[in-house]
Structure 1
Amino acid sequence: MIDDDPRTALMRAAASAGLSLSTLSGAIRRNAAYLQQYVTRGSPRVLAEADRRTLAAMLGVSEAALGGPAKTDAPFALPRLDVQASAGPGAYADGELVLGIDGVDARLARALRLRPGMAGLITARGDSMEPGLYDGDQLIVDTADRTPIASARVYVIRVDGAVMVKRVAAGRKKLVATSDNPAAAPVPAGEIEVVGRVVWRMGAPR
């Protein structure tokens, strides 16, 4: 737990370590009264970064406890794939080439249960999945989830080499893919290869 007041946290940590504020002041190459003034008078207002780092290491506490920035998780890496999941007739791609690496908040990745190396980011094209998905939406795809269930969910699929995003359900004998937009053309016939499940949409407000 991080104390709300870094001065109180410093005093408690020093007492726990059996070190005086004057001793700690010397450790950071300040005059003996430096930290006493920091604690009682608020001067300086905040500890210098180098001083804070040294004190945190000596006292076994986080820099955040002594007034430093809270530690945040590194972004979850998502490869951006050079394919467009068509929400229309289908975009053809011989393979998936990585255009670059994007990142999403690590907390979101945990909430979505994404696994490193088993997720990607692609762009939706077309209108066949409106109003749920729109042309240009960025889609996070969980490539670890390739097994549709009886209750239809949104997946990126390939049909005869065409990459598309459709609602897919497990039928009695085969997978069944449909569009959300009733005006859309029928999904092309052919064997359905599941690329992964769409677990997050990023797009402009509508």
Structure 2
Amino acid sequence: MTQEQLGALIGTDKTVISKLESGRTRLSQARMMAIAASLGCGVAELLEPVAPSVPGWGDDASVEVAEVDIYGDRRGGFLASHEGRPQGFREDETIAQWRFPAAYLSSELQVRAAAVRIVEVRGDGMEPTLMPGDRVMVNLADQSPSPPGVFALWDGQGVVIKRLELIMGSHPPLVEIRSDNPHHRVYERAAADIDIIGRVVWVGRRL
């Protein structure tokens, strides 16, 4: 029912209904009874609070995201290898399945379920932002360090999680690779020489 239709039922116009809905006009008892009668309900139903809804969250609309073991077979796992150089994404062994509301992934994180993986954080390089044992979600569809952020990448020895930033004006393009732990050094690499797996978009931690 539109505001105009409800206004006509109780002898007023849509402007008054709009003000009632927004709280700019006080809802009198007489008008409340008129609205209830027009809607075929009791006054108590009009006063009953309604919990806000989040699209999709109230349904059983959930999707699975695989947690993969990136610390197992380093040459044939998360990144495939050819003659010693990683050549792109290759699926690792799935060790767990996490369930997320589909609406949370699409609306809040703005990722596709098929393009994300959960991985475990190991080492102290990203403390205190990320702690050993944390799980992070990596968006494989976002491999650009501009804007800067936290990424999973192949550093030549294995998969690590670091903060990356493209150094503007550098030619050829350089990327600064930084650990949040101040005890780890900051270094630079040519963008062409690093293999970015994806951007970290979510973290889960046991308290």
Normalising by structure 2, we get a TM-score of: 0.55
1:48-84 Cα deviation digits (max 9, x unpaired): xxxxxxxxxxxxxxxxxxxxxx951422221111115
* Paired residue type of 2:180: D
Aligned to 2:175: 175
**Residue 181 (structure 1) shift:** 0.5
- 1:195 paired with 2:197, answer yes
Aligned to 1:80: 67
Return closer, same or farther for 1:117/1:179 CA change in 2, 3 Å cut-off. same
The answer to whether the 8 A contact 1:139-1:201 is kept is yes
For structure 1, the 5+ residue unaligned runs are 1-69, 85-90
The answer to whether the 8 A contact 2:175-2:188 is kept is no
Aligned to 2:138: 141
RMSD: 2.5
The answer to whether the 8 A contact 1:155-1:168 is kept is yes
SS in 1 for 2:77: coil
Which stretches of structure 1, 4 residues or more, deviate above 3 A after TM superposition? 185-190
**Residue 93 (structure 1) shift:** 4.8
* Paired residue type of 1:136: G
Aligned to 1:57: none
* Paired residue type of 1:181: N
Distance 1:73 1:187 in 2: 46
How many residues get paired? 129
1:135-184 Cα deviation digits (max 9, x unpaired): 000101111111111x5310000011410000001122222211011012
**Residue 195 (structure 1) shift:** 0.5
Normalising by structure 1, we get a TM-score of: 0.56
Identity across the alignment (%): 26
